[in-house]
Amino acid sequence: MASRGTRPTSQERRSSGADRADQRGADGRPALSTGPELGPMTLMGQSCPLHNRRGSARVVPRDENMELSFSMEMDTRIYGSNPGQHQDSSQATPIQRALRSLSIPLERLHIMKGHMIEDMCKGLCRQTHAQAKVRMLPTYIASIPNGTEKGNFLVVELCQNQVRTLLVTLYGDGNMSPNIVYKIFDMPEGMRQGEGEALFDFIAQCLSKFLAETTTSEIKETTTLPLGFVFPFSCQQTRLDKAELLSWSKGFSCSGVVGKDVAQLLQSAINKQELRHVEVVAVMNDTVGTMMTCSMEGRPCEVGIVADKGSNCCFMAESYLVETADETSGRMCVNTEWGCFGDDGILNDVFTPYDECVDKESSNPGVKRFEKMVGTLYVGEIVRHALIALTAEKALFNGTDVAVLKQKGVFTMQHVLDIINNEDGITEVKKILESLRLQPRLAAILSYMCQTRDLETLTVNVGVEGELYTGYPRFEEILLSVSRLLAPECMPTLLPSRDGSGRGAAMVTAVALRLAAQSRAVDEVLAPLRLSRADLEKVQALMRQEMDRGLCKETNPTASVRMLPTYVTHTPDGTERGDFLALDLGGTNFRVLVVRVTEEGITMASEIYVIPATIMQGTGEALFDHILDCIIDFQMKQNLVTQMLPLGFTFSFPCQQVGLDKALLLTWTKGFSASGCVGKDVVQLLRDAAKRKQHLGMQVVALVNDTVGTMMACGYDDPKCEIGLIVGTGTNACYMEEMKNVGTVEGDQGRMCINMEWGAFGDNGCLDHLFTQFDKVVDETTINPGKQRFEKLISGMYLGEIVRQILMAMVEKQLLFKGRPCPKLQTRNIFQTKFLSTIELNGLALRQIRAILNELELDASFEDSVLMREVCQAVSLRAAQLCAAGLAAVVEKMRESRGLDQLSVTVGVDGTLYKLHPCFSDNLQKTLKDLAPKCNVTFLLSEDGSGKGAALVAAVADRAANAAK
């Protein structure tokens, strides 16, 4: 039995710390576990390592009298009492046995933590959620206060025996000193078990009385007074203001409420009281209110624990893990409802006979098993049952029949606390309470947060409130030391919740209103980018019109889509053979390749070369000289100097082709502007450079656009591939058109591949209605304003700039960075395609997004990151949809020209945006299906680039040239 004398004083504890020095290893670091088979905390009465916060170990000295002494180190003994290693239970006193049954060995706690994490995952997963005991309910609270919240907010809290009403005024000062006026109303006897309607009417009456007494005329005159409702029961929320009660607990069982939306029930009751200006804006669990109460600017709190009549916890989870809510961005607060942990029997072995009695006598037997182990509504009862058993064993009260103990509820938490907090109190009872199974679940939650945020260590604030926390001074110490033992990677700081959950509820309500206003403002900014189906149909029709105009000889000169003939009349048939050189110029990379086409297939080797911006925008001579240098270097490296190989040239710019090896550059695009090239034959420019370099080792036989190279490359594997699409730095498409439709080339037989040059679609003003102010600014700042207008809405070279323009507008409207100016956003081209692709990755934790933004020196909050992702999504979705509308026009035209009811065709596709962006291809394909339902379109990704296709074209040209010779 414990006595004061056996408790080590702090002095003694310090000196025992000195003893520890003896047990350090040779390196001076603390000695580790005594044996591998004994996990770190299993032995009682032996030196065993304790993990400190950072996971390193320290050694606790052997303490023979551990059952009786308590200190931080003693937590091991509270929980570490592995029964197998205990002193022989036959020798133990009944009290020791009773105590032991109430304590849980550390290993078991580790196992419980593991189960808890499993249960959490089960609760969050869409498929298993319905069966999960730990429900992990989404709260639709995705933001914590940022301190700018302002205004008057009404709160009503339903408590065990009371209704609390509060009027909270926030001043936007970091929520440091809100003004709070409150009034508490006692709930009439029996109301908890009565009719639901009566309960809600009572709450509304409390509100009415409170408002009558406290509100100023200013508040009375406001049109609406937003209300946050703290409802501390298990609810399935589908919105912040829609919460269906799943089940009552803690002695409540009002009729007609389970399955109903409690926000609606409260609103109706409020309306009955004629408080029409009071609007229920948010319903939340008390844990959420607690977490929010403890959250202030600069000190966000991301876990809330209530250790009161019931026990529960909420925390901020990564939204994408909360599959039951359709929210993938940011974080969402999840109400764990951890009181139900163990309802599937997983805790049966730690459930004592006392717990069983308490459960049986409760209003909800068999459920909320864990809550009944730790909630203060039940603690007194557990102690009472333990005392009954001990009395019966004559271990206490000398076996006198203490009839009073038989009465349910006679022992309240307060009694227990009085005893426990009184140094001279009954030490056994004190032990019982101290041994209470303060959960491993905080540890589970912290570990889960740490893992899912991809952190090595998690530093987090945990808001706590409740009778057990406020009334029991050692609660914090025990809770922290258990979580340190079980989750050494986490560093929680407990924050007491001043003002209960009411102040937090006001903040939730305030945040909800702030976010609603913000989301309206964001929608307004993004609205012009959101395209309806009708908009897309119109784009499709316009594209079709421009295609027809481009194909027709008379209208071709004024058509914005040039529909350039390529002189490629067949897709590959598999008979192509030979070794070829290929060049691939105009995408992200400039490549030189050697391609070997044999009966067995195609093999290639290539080298990437850089084209510096100075050369792209210098003279044509310098550009082609540079290209020649690269070719020569490549041939040397590949030992090809002595061979005269035919060369296929992928040149990804608009060219008026006169033949396969004669192509006049119409205009530069995508940031190129080398002088002296426009209007010239590009093949000749290359030959001239070869002459200048006196290089005879190549023979240019074909020039193709990258779309054509891509179509040919994919066509080698799939004969149905009759369309080439590029969505990369630029965008463009080509397809096999009936010769009879090609008015710009003589002859009606067969087909010819047409390089659409659709990037210029809209250059004649036909898409002006689509351009937003952002698109216009982006266009104006390019080197070719007014040109390639469609491309500038779609391709990788421009999307980042559109995003940047939108973000700048949002900063101006104070929607981003809390309105603080962000000079870094002024930097042109800071957002590359790579950025757009990463930021939209599904499941990418916000922390990673923030890291990306920080790399760009943008100091974004989590909310800023969410908003940025939304902007990127709007921009990339529009791009994919526009691309689909263009493609729909192409496939529909092919279907019609071929007189088919249904067209089956493959699109060979390439480009970094298409390849890297996580949603672009899905959005494109979905929209295309919708706009061209009679076409069955397959997308085939070009794996090896368009150089392979250029080589195949060169093969055909070479064969034809040889045949002619």
Just list the catalytic residues: 591, 652, 706
d(CA 79, CA 429): 17
Q: In terms of Cα–Cα distance, which of 564, 743, 801 is closest to 667?
A: 564
C-beta of 362 vs 652, nearer to ligand GLC: 652
Binding residue (CB under 6 A) for ligand GLC from 40, 492, 586, 949: 586
Which span (16-24, 31-39, 699-707, 859-867) binds ligand GLC, by CB under 6 A? 699-707
Q: Which residues contact 677 (CB under 8 A, 6 or more apart)?
A: 620, 623, 665, 668, 685
In the bound complex, which residue of the shown chain has the CB atom lying closest to ligand BG6? Answer: 728
**Min CB(729)–ligand GLC separation in Å:** 6
Residue 665 parent element (H or E): strand 662-665
Asked whether position 732 contacts ligand GLC by CB under 6 A, the answer is yes
3-state percent breakdown (helix, strand, coil) of the chain, nearest 5: 45, 20, 35
Among the candidate windows 264-272, 294-302, 313-321, 727-735, which touches ligand GLC by CB under 6 A? Answer: 727-735
Q: Does 726 bind ligand BG6 (CB under 6 A)?
A: yes
Q: Tokens 């295609």 belong to which residue?
A: 547
Window contacting ligand GLC (CB under 6 A); options: 166-174, 416-424, 510-518, 726-734: 726-734
CB 815 within 8 A of CB 783: no
Cα-Cα-Cα-Cα torsion 202, 206, 211, 212, nearest 10 degrees, comes to: 90
Smallest separation (angstroms) from ligand BG6 to the CB of 671:
11
**Helix orientation angle between 682-692 and 620-637, rounded to the nearest 10 degrees:** 70
Q: Which of 18-26, 274-282, 550-558, 945-953 is the region at the interface with ligand BG6 (rule: CB under 6 A)?
A: 945-953
Q: Is 458 in the site for ligand GLC (CB under 6 A)?
A: no
Q: Which stretch binds ligand GLC (CB under 6 A): 157-165, 175-183, 282-290, 728-736?
A: 728-736
Residue 654 binds ligand GLC (CB under 6 A): yes
Minimum Å gap between C-beta 739 and ligand GLC is: 22
Give the contact letters, 745-764, x = binds to ligand GLC (CB under 6 A), - = no: ------------x-x-----
Interaction partner, residue 910 (ligand GLC, ligand BG6, none; CB < 5-8 Å by kind): ligand BG6
Residue-by-residue DSSP string for 457-477: SEEEEEEEESHHHHH-TTHHH
**Choice between 338 and 653, CB closer to ligand GLC:** 653
80, 504, 565, 730: which one binds ligand GLC (CB under 6 A)? 730
| 945 touches ligand BG6 by CB under 6 A | yes
Smallest separation (angstroms) from ligand GLC to the CB of 335: 50
Inter-residue contact 207 to 270 (CB < 8 Å): yes
Which stretch, 172-180, 356-364, 622-630, 647-655, contacts ligand GLC (CB under 6 A)?
647-655
Token output for 445: 């939650």
Tell me if 832 contacts ligand BG6 by CB under 6 A: no
Determine the angle formed by the axes of helices 862-897 and 846-855, rounding to 10 degrees: 90
- Judge contact between 671 and 616, C-beta under 8 A: yes
Of 145, 709, 762, 800, the one binding ligand BG6 by CB under 6 A: 709
Contact 501, 342 (CB under 8 A): no
Structure tokens at 447: 């570990």
CA distance 565 to 359: 82
Kindly tell me which residue out of 324, 497, 606, 669 binds ligand GLC, with binding defined by CB under 6 A: 669
Residue 923 found at the interface with ligand GLC (CB under 6 A) = no
Distance separating alpha carbons of residues 548 and 841, to the nearest angstrom: 39
Q: Give which of ligand GLC, ligand BG6, none residue 709 binds (C-beta under 5 to 8 Å, depending on kind).
A: ligand BG6
| Residue 946 contacts ligand BG6 per CB under 6 A | yes
Rounded to 10 deg, the angle between the 862-897 and 502-526 helix axes is 40
Apex CA 475: angle with CA 307 and CA 489, to 5°?
A: 95
Residue 440 interface partner, choices ligand BG6, ligand GLC, none, CB cut-off 5-8 Å depending on type: none
How far apart CA 600 and CA 594 sit, in angstroms, is 16
Output DSSP code: residue 936. Answer: E
Asked if 705 touches ligand GLC (CB under 6 A), the answer is yes
Residue 936 CA neighbour count, 13 Å, CB half:
6
Residue 946 binding: pick among ligand BG6, ligand GLC, none (C-beta 5-8 Å cut-off by kind): ligand BG6
* Residue 652 touches ligand GLC, criterion: CB under 6 A: yes
**Residue 895, both tokens:** 């279907």
With CB under 5 to 8 Å by kind, the binding choice for 71 among ligand BG6, ligand GLC, none is none
* Residue 715 makes contact with ligand BG6 by CB under 6 A: no
Helix (H, G, I), strand (E, B) or coil at 242: strand
* Residue from 146, 319, 566, 707 in contact with ligand GLC (CB under 6 A): 707
Region binding ligand BG6 by CB under 6 A among candidate stretches 74-82, 141-149, 631-639, 910-918? 910-918
DSSP E strands in 177-335: the ranges are: 179-186, 225-230, 234-239, 242-247, 278-284, 303-307, 311-318, 331-335
Give the residue with the Cβ less far from ligand BG6, 461 or 710: 710
* Site map 324..363 versus ligand GLC, x via CB under 6 A: ----------------------------------------
Closest contact distance (angstroms) between CB of 652 and ligand BG6 is 4
Q: Kindly state the helix (H) or strand (E) to which residue 602 belongs, with its residue range.
A: strand 601-609
Under rule CB under 6 A, which residues in 606-665 are in contact with ligand BG6?
Answer: 650, 652
Q: Which stretch binds ligand BG6 (CB under 6 A): 17-25, 198-206, 623-631, 904-912?
A: 904-912
Q: Which of residues 376-405 bind ligand BG6 (CB under 6 A)?
A: none
Among residues 113, 115, 626, 670, which is the contact residue for ligand GLC, using CB under 6 A?
Answer: 670
Total chain residues near ligand BG6 (CB under 6 A) = 18
Closest CA to 652 of 788, 761, 757: 757
Query: Which of 586, 620, 715, 886 forms a contact with ligand BG6 (CB under 6 A)?
Result: 586
How far, in Å, CA of 416 to CA of 366, rounded? Answer: 25
SS3 per-residue string spanning 861-906: CHHHHHHHHHHHHHHHHHHHHHHHHHHHHHHHHHHHHCCCCCEEEE
Q: Which amino acid is at 882?
A: L
Which is nearer to ligand BG6, 138 or 728 (by Cβ)? 728
Which of these ranges, 234-242, 740-748, 908-916, 921-929, lies near ligand BG6 under the rule CB under 6 A?
908-916
* Nearest distance from C-beta of residue 317 to ligand GLC, angstroms: 42
User: Cβ 710 to ligand GLC, closest distance in Å?
Assistant: 9
Q: Of the two residues 196 and 728, which places its CB atom closer to ligand BG6 in the complex?
A: 728
**Cβ atoms of residues 463 and 301 within 8 Å:** yes
Using Cβ positions, the residue closest to ligand GLC within the complex turns out to be 730
CA-based nearest residue to 500, from 332, 290, 780, 741: 290
Token pair of 153 as six digits: 């907010």
Window 760 to 819, contacts with ligand BG6 (CB under 6 A): 796
Rg of the Cα trace of the chain? 37
Q: Which residues of 674-697 are buried (b: 16+ CB within 10 A; e: fewer)?
A: beebeeebbbebbbbbbeeeebeb
HEC secondary structure over 754-774: EECCHHHCCCCCCCHHHCCHH
Closest CB to ligand BG6 among 339 and 709? 709
- Please report how close the Cβ of residue 943 comes to ligand BG6 at its closest, in angstroms: 9
Where on the chain is the footprint of ligand GLC (CB under 6 A)?
Answer: 586-587, 652-654, 669-670, 705-707, 726, 728, 730-732, 757, 759, 791
Where on the chain is the footprint of ligand BG6 (CB under 6 A)?
Answer: 584, 586-588, 650, 652, 706, 709, 726, 728-729, 796, 910-912, 945-947
